[in-house]
Amino acid sequence: MNYQLDVQGYYKDQSRTGFPHSSGIYFVYRGIYIPHLKTVTLMELLYIGETENLYDRHNEHDKRNEFLARLQEGEELFYSFALTESLSNEQRKKVEAALIYELCPPLNVQNVDSFIYDEITINVLGDRHAYIPDQINAPSY
């Protein structure tokens, strides 16, 4: 099965109150904002998740303190996401599991060691997907 994600971002932590009330796959990073260049240098992909509502999830995330604890001096949290309104809940969970399995972000604990679904291919579009390849085939063993 093939899936396509059009990743949008990067959004500073303070911007999460403007996230859409839509389903999506999201990526949490630690990074440094460079104001005079209006850009960000991302240091690490911390976490991948899926949700029925990006706004609610990011404004009430149960791992928020873990995200903040990973920041080093001068760093901030940044987010990117792909809207997934065309995917069912099961499909969204499958795509999330494949991304976690292949990329192993440090704050994800489920789906890191195993991929329980049939093989899938994810094509990642856009230019806002640091640390995420343009195509993922899971499982890749």
The enclosing domain of 40 has a CATH number of: 3.40.1440.10
Query: What tens digit of pLDDT does each residue of 11-59 get?
Result: 999 998 899 999 999 999 999 999 999 899 999 999 999 999 999 998 8
What whole-number distance in Å separates Cα of residue 26 and Cα of residue 96?
Answer: 9
How far, CA to CA in Å, does 90 sit from each of 29, 30, 77, 107? Answer: 25, 28, 28, 22
The boundaries of the domain holding residue 101 are 2-138
- Single-letter amino acid, residue 60: E
What whole-number distance in Å separates Cα of residue 37 and Cα of residue 28?
Answer: 21
Tokens 């995420």 — which residue? Answer: 132
Average the pLDDT over 55-68 and give the result. Answer: 93
- Total number of domains constituting the chain: 1
pLDDT for 127 equals: 80
Q: Which residues make beta-bridge pairs with 42?
A: 31
Q: Is the pTM of this model over 0.85?
A: yes
Helix (H, G, I), strand (E, B) or coil at 115: coil
